[in-house]
Amino acid sequence: MNFIDIIGLFAGTCVTISVIPQILKVWKTRKVKAISLKTFGILTFGILIWIIYGVLKNDLPIIITNSVSLCLNLVMVYFIIYYEKE
């Protein structure tokens, strides 16, 4: 792994973990009224495209960080849909 890959992993990790506080807040409060499903839906789709891009470029930092990010954002989308009903 070279220096450029390390920078990519670090940047991707920062972006990936940025959604964790929101997930924890929603999990604890079960309140999603102020959270936009459209925003998280578009973000999640964009992350999927980043994964495809990473695969096409054979860029492991992009693939790894965006795969984790995709999972976290899918959790958030699920929470928005599930808790919106309550």
CATH code of the domain containing 25: 1.20.1280.290
- Which range marks the domain in which residue 63 is found? 3-84
> What does pLDDT average to over the chain?
95
Check pLDDT > 80 for residue 38: yes
Check pLDDT > 80 for residue 27: yes
pTM across the whole model: 0.90
Residue range 7-22, pLDDT digits in tens: 999 999 999 999 999 9
Look at residue 1 in the predicted model and tell me its pLDDT.
Answer: 83
**Domain total in the chain:** 1
Look at residue 14 in the predicted model and tell me its pLDDT.
Answer: 95
DSSP state of 39: H
